[in-house]
Every structure is written in structure tokens, then in C-alpha cells.
Amino acid sequence: MPIDLNRTEEIFATSTDLTVGLEEEFALLDAETLDLAPRFEELRDAAAQDPVLAEAITGELISSEIEIISGRGEDLHEALAQQRDRRRRLFALAADHGVLLGSTGTHPWADYREQRNIDTDHYRRVVEGLGYVARRNNTFSLHVHVGVRGADRAVLACDRLRPVLPLLLAVSASSPFLEGRDTLLASARSQTFTKSFPRCGVPDAYGSWAAFREYLDLLISTHSIVEYTQVWWSVRPHATFGTIEVRIADAQITAGESDRLAALIVACVGQALRDIDDGVPFVDPAPRLIEENVWRAIRHGMDGRMIDLGRREEISTRAAVEDLWTWTEPLRDELRIDAGPDAPNGAQRQRAALLGGAALHEVYADTVRETTTTYAQEVPA
């Protein structure tokens, strides 16, 4: 279907601020070995018996991955309630078919060369267009959509969220292991996907819908993209839904972590919109400085240090995240959102277990148990 950017402007013009949609990607696992298992098509077909679940699951690049989506919630709390119900249905379906679900940003030992891509027009284009880069991308993420009224406001909010992205990545990091080894990274997923795909990572600051549209028009006219979703930026205005989609986060091991991270992301988008409406001054940081903080988040996660781009000095990542909580406090109060994740994140817990003497398989098995015992519940612990 041709990309209709005029229609996109109309969608944003009628969109509603702070509606929420959630998308969570899970690894499909063999119940005995915890290896990736190409069972998506089987689960998709079985889900047809449940009308709610049938519309809630989608495929991703590989057949050993499944995505569950909340649909539109009128606010964060409605989206979370919808997602909890859909998770429960998905985990029950998977259990009936002898499949386990994993929720870390990468599978710790899977060989990407052994994974089968799903057969859809979209993913055939991705694989044919990107080759090795697409085949190599066996990763799992949390995406959060937040409704925004007006295409200009959406672009301006994305601009303000650019320096926030490294902090959200650091909080979410859950993928220290890849190809059977400790990568020494906190988010190997981000290095594999965000730093490899074209039109990915931290976008430029555009300042207006007109400027962003000029960029998209160039991509379309030069045959760089044939679908809007081939613009894989870590934060982007979504052409179909009238939302800002934040795509920087690793998948979360527990349902509670995923819910709290989604809430923090919603608060960040909402606070950016509030600052725009209130005329709060903002200077776009240089892309190279934001990328420096992205690297620090990839490498060290919450254990590292960030550059405070306002004061131009180094501070602990923990202190930087506390500043983020302070910035979002007005919106969090309005939306009844706690500060956000505080305990050691997924990368920290997994590496601590490995350094404590557990084998890699044991570490992953523990995360799968955590995932099963929280996401499978109607109300997560």
C-alpha cells in the first residue's frame, strides 16, 4: 500500500493525547532445552479459537518469536489491564502447546543462522533488503505507543525525547549474553539491532512535521523505503496510529518490570508534551553527544556513568535516572504512576548470577521461571 503522508497528518489531527498501546516481544522456547523453537505459526493458528487473543498476537522476523499487543487503551491503566489479560491468555495457550516464553533482549546462546524467518510480504522485504543485518537480528523488545494530538507536536516531542533515550535504555537493559558468552554489554540487543539497522537509533531533531515529512518524502521518492515501518528510529511518530512510538527498550524479565517501564515511558512522552505546550525552553543536543550516552547505556547499563548534557559533566547513571524521575513528577502524579524501576535490572541480575557461579543455562532458566510466574498471572506480582 502506498505511503499516504497526507492521511498521516489527518490521523494526528484527530488523535488524543496520552492514549496508550503496548507491544511486548517474547522468545518461543523448547520446554526441555530452552532453545529457540519455531512455533509461531502453530500458536497463531491455535489462537484463532480465542477472538481476543487472535487479534492480539502478531509475528516478528523469526518464527521463534511472538508479539502480544494491548490494543488502544484510553489511558495507561486501561492499556495495562488489557495487556495483562492478553498475556494471561498467551501464556496459557503456550503452556497447552508445551512452549515456554522467554523475555530478555536476546536469547543467550541461540545461533541466528538456524532461525527461520516468517513468510510475510513485510518480512520478506526486510530480509531481502537488509540481508545479513536482518538475519542477524534475533532480538526482543518492549514498544510503547502514546497518543499525540497534532503532527507538529509529535515531532517536537520526539525531538525532546532524544536525550532521554539512553536513560530508558539503561533502565531497561536485560541482554548481557549472546552466542553463548557474556558480551560485557548490558544490552547486546541494542548493539545488534539499534546500531546495525538503517534509519535506526537516535533520529535527527526535525523541529516540525514539515521537516520530518520532507525527509520521508525523500526516502519514498528515492525508493529507500516502501513502508513507513522501514523507518526504525528508537522514537518515531507513527504514521498509522497517531502516536509517538518509543522503541529503545529491551524486553523485560518480569511483568512488573515491564509495566513500570511502560509507565515511565508514558510519563516521559506526556512530560515532553506538557513542556511544549507550556513553552519550556529546549535546546537540541548534538547527536554525537546523545550517541555517547547511548553507548554508555549499551555497555554499562545502570552500572555506568552518563554525560549530563546540560551541565556538560559526568554523573552516575543512577543520578541521571533520578533526574528523569524528577522531571516527570508532574505527569506521574497526574497519571498515578510511581517513580519507576528501582531494583537491579535484568542485565544486573543475570550477570550477578553468572559471576556468582551459575552456568549460563541456569541463569536463563531462572529468568524464564520469573517470566512465567509473573506474566502468566492476570495481575502480575
Residue 11 lies in a domain: yes
Containing structural domain, residue 77: 5-375
CATH number of the domain bearing residue 357: 3.30.590.20
Q: Global pTM? A: 0.95
pLDDT at 29: 98
Q: Which residues, in sequence order, are CB contacts of 75 under 8 Å at separation 6+?
A: 18, 19, 20, 335
Cα dist. 159→34, 40, 197, 246, 320 in Å?
Answer: 40, 36, 20, 12, 19
User: In angstroms, rounded to a whole number, what is the distance separating the alpha carbons of residues 37 and 272?
Assistant: 40
**Cell 543475570 sits on residue:** 350
Contacts of 105 (CB under 8 A, 6+ apart): 139, 140, 141, 173, 174, 175, 187, 188, 189, 190, 250, 251, 346
DSSP string computed for 66-94: EEEE---BSSHHHHHHHHHHHHHHHHHHH
- With respect to residue 166, please indicate whether it lies within any of the assigned structural domains: yes
- Give SS3 for 318: helix
- Express the helix, strand and coil content of the chain in percent, nearest 5 each: 50, 15, 35
The 10s digit of each residue's pLDDT in 329-373 is 999 999 998 766 678 999 999 999 999 999 999 999 999 999 999
Residue 271 grid coordinates: 512530560
- 102 in a domain, yes or no? yes
Residues 126, 378: Cα–Cα separation, whole Å: 35
Residues in the chain, total: 381
Can you tell me the distance from the alpha carbon of 7 to that of 42, in angstroms, rounded to the nearest whole number? 36
pLDDT of residue 124: 79
Q: Are 108 and 180 in contact (CB under 8 A)?
A: yes
The H or E element containing residue 243 is: strand 243-250
The rounded Cα 321 to chain-centroid distance in angstroms is 18
Asked whether residue 198 is domain-assigned, the answer is yes
Residue 199 domain flag: yes
Q: What is the pLDDT of residue 379?
A: 45
What's the pLDDT score for residue 226? 87
Cell numbers given for 202? 537516535
C-alpha torsion angle, residues 151, 154, 155, 156 (rounded to 10) = 120
Give domain status of residue 380, yes or no. no
Asked if 5 contacts 59 with a C-beta cutoff of 8 angstroms, the reply is: no
Q: What is the number of domains present in the chain?
A: 1
CA distance 49 to 95: 15
50: left (phi over 0), alpha (psi -120 to 50) or beta: beta
* Nearest C-alpha neighbor of 154 from the set 57, 78, 246: 246
116 grid coordinates? 527461520
Confirm whether 381 is domain-assigned: no
| 358: in domain | yes
Could you tell me how many helices (H) and strands (E) the chain has, helices first?
16, 13
Residue 280 near residue 166, CB atoms below 8 Å: no
Alpha carbons 314 and 222: distance in angstroms, whole number: 41
Q: Is the dihedral of CA 109, 295, 161, 220 positive or negative?
A: negative
Residue spans of the chain under pLDDT 50: 379-381
Closest-CA residue to 248 (of 168, 304, 176, 163): 168
| CA proximity to 143, closest of 178, 184, 189, 111 | 189
**Radius of gyration of the chain from its Cα atoms, rounded to whole angstroms:** 20
